[in-house]
Structure 1
Amino acid sequence: MATNRVVLIVVDALRFDTACSHMGYMQHLIENGKAARYKVRSEVPSLSRPLYETILTGTPPVVHGINSNRTVRLSTQQSLFHLAKNSGKTTAAAAYYWVSELYNSAPFNEMQDRIQLDTKLLIENGLFYFEDHYPDSHLFAEASWLMEKKQPDFLYIHPMNVDDDGHKFTADSKEYRNRVLSVDALLSVFLPLCKEQGYDVIITADHGMTADGNHGGNTAEDRHVPLFVMSEKIAAGISDELLSQLMIAPLACRLLEIEPSKAMVPLKMEECLLV
């Protein structure tokens, strides 16, 4: 059931190699012809706020100007939220508060901006958390509520616990690996709901995590992240191609069937698109 609706899930700090070795449910979908997997090379600096903007606008930091986590302002680019809304589609997000600061209101007010249900905003239905240890399980429950009650055309979901455990224990730790297992288990419950509602699903990460418990640099551990796609428009299986992170926004536009912004680079996955 194709409805030209998309769920974009950004698992903060999910390394490519750990995703491949510890996300058993996602591998199950790949082996059974229900999902595709790619390796993505993130932009640099491999930091969260710059790469949220890159993923959602399809532009690098040198263009969008969000160069560090300390840059607190609204986006100046045409994001997926802008493009969807301008195309008559509805938007929603269950995400970290930095996403609100990029697209709805900056700076974030913890007492007022936690729940934002306002059709005048770019993110019309937003549930935003502001503590890194906020449980991923709660976040996916909130995303499920948004999907069921608000029926958005574009739903953005951003869990933080993998990043939180990576900083606390490093990527070379049982805690980090077990957290990736936990996210995979949550996806095994949530993704069937997406399918029932007729959504295409994109799952990726902003950046990776190093054995030092950090990120921001130019190593494969910093920059290589997974891209999983569940859509009848994308051929299932594993691709050996290394994709630019700039491909994610135009891919979402293709699945939403909306025009990409003029600043986005052309989508270079044509051989993988079925329709």
Structure 2
Amino acid sequence: MKRKVILVLLDGLNYEVARHALGHLLAYCGAGRAVLYKLQCELPALSRPLYECILTGVPPITSGIVHNDVSRLSRERSIFHYASAAGLSTAAAAYHWVSELYNASPFVAARDRHTEAPGLPIQHGHFYYADHYPDSHLFADAESLRLRHDPDFLLVHPMNVDDAGHKHGLDSPQYRNSARVADILLAEYLQRWLDAGYQVLVTADHGMNNDRSHNGLLPEEREVPLFVLGDAFSLDANAQPKQTELCGTVCELLGASHDKTFCRELLK
């Protein structure tokens, strides 16, 4: 199997909010063209540790990226590493912590914000460093990378859902509406990605609680969505993917050699 893949990471999106607020993605599910799964995020339910978990398949307690202030390059092999080693092209429109994990640490905005570096794991990148950076801009950044470079693997990572949760809490109009806005933005791009032959996964790192935070064991903090769309997916509603299997599953889709666990039931 050798397919191009887009991984959309909607930062801070709780499963239950995804289940009722993402109308466009849910329309694909209703038409039998996508499936929504419930994942339980690894611990701690914090962003940088879970970026590392999703992109390497390694839980935080093993990776050593155990809180958000661990600012260093990853010691693990990520999707970007496996894809690059397979001769594939990589790109990311993402928060600057992703650049720090896989390209260069510490992040220097003037040097790293716009990356064109064939020798790095993330070859083409647009990285932002303000949590309120508009999701509309981030999706446009990602589409610019796709149109210019036709990457085999593209990470799309907006932050406004998480930002709204920290400012207003889980049970707030602002948080729910941020999720709805992300879904509307996805509606602009999703079908053209599928038409271009991409397999698309839409997930989140962690959820959100009513204390305007996340780090614990509450279901609203740990339960996150995973939507899968594309003709390489089985669309088996009974599959039980894990967050630690996303890296290996994406590598399987890419046809990139890897040594990670993956969810066979997700794939045809």
Measured against the shorter chain, the TM-score band is: over 0.9
Is 1:273 matched up with 2:255?
A: no
Distance 1:224 1:158 in 2: 18
- Pair 1:252 & 2:250 matched: yes
| Mapping for residues 227-238 of structure 1, pairs under 5 Å | 227-236=226-235, 238=237
Alpha-carbon contact 1:30-1:238 (below 8 Å) kept: no
Identity percentage over the alignment? 44
Structure-1 residue corresponding to 2:161: 162
The equivalent of 1:126 in structure 2 is: 125
CA distance in 2, matches of 1:186, 1:260: 32
Name the counterpart of 1:70: 69
Task: Find the aligned partners of 1:121 and 1:168 in 2 and give their Cα distance.
Answer: 35
The aligned counterpart of 2:50 is: 51
Q: Which residue does the alignment assign to 1:96?
A: 95
Post-superposition shift, 1:236? Answer: 2.8
Contact 2:236/2:266, CA 8 A, preserved across alignment: no
Superposition TM-score, scaled by structure 1 size: 0.94
Residue type at the aligned position of 1:257: G
Q: CA offsets per residue over residues 92-139 of structure 1, 9 Å max, x none? A: 000000000000100011222111111111110010000000000001
**Superposition map of 1:117-196 within 5 A:** 117-196=116-195
In structure 2, give the amino acid aligned to 1:253. C
Residues 93 and 142, structure 2, Cα contact 8 Å, conserved in 1: yes
Deviation, 1:3, is 5.8
**3-state SS of the aligned residue for 2:127?**
strand
**TM-aligned CA deviation for residue 202 of structure 1:** 0.8
Deviation at 1:150, TM superposition (A): 0.5
CA contact (8 A) 1:52 1:99 kept: yes
Tell me how many residue pairs correspond in the alignment: 268
User: In 1, are the aligned partners of 2:2 and 2:253 still within 8 Å (CA)?
Assistant: no
Structure 1 Cα separation of the partners of residues 77 and 116 of structure 2: 21
Amino acid at match of 2:249: L
Quote the Cα distance in structure 2 between the aligned partners of 1:195 and 1:270: 21
User: 8 Å contact 2:39–2:243 — kept in the other structure?
Assistant: yes
Post-superposition Cα deviations, 1:130-159, rounded to whole Å, max 9, x if no partner, equal 000000000101111111111010001100
Decide whether the 8 Å contact of 1:15 with 1:225 is kept in 2. Answer: yes
| CA drift at 1:272 | 4.0
- Which deviations, in whole Å up to 9, do the C-alpha atoms of 1:196-241 show, x marking residues without a partner? 22110011000000011100111111110000111212133644x6
* Unpaired stretches in structure 2, ≥5 consecutive residues: none
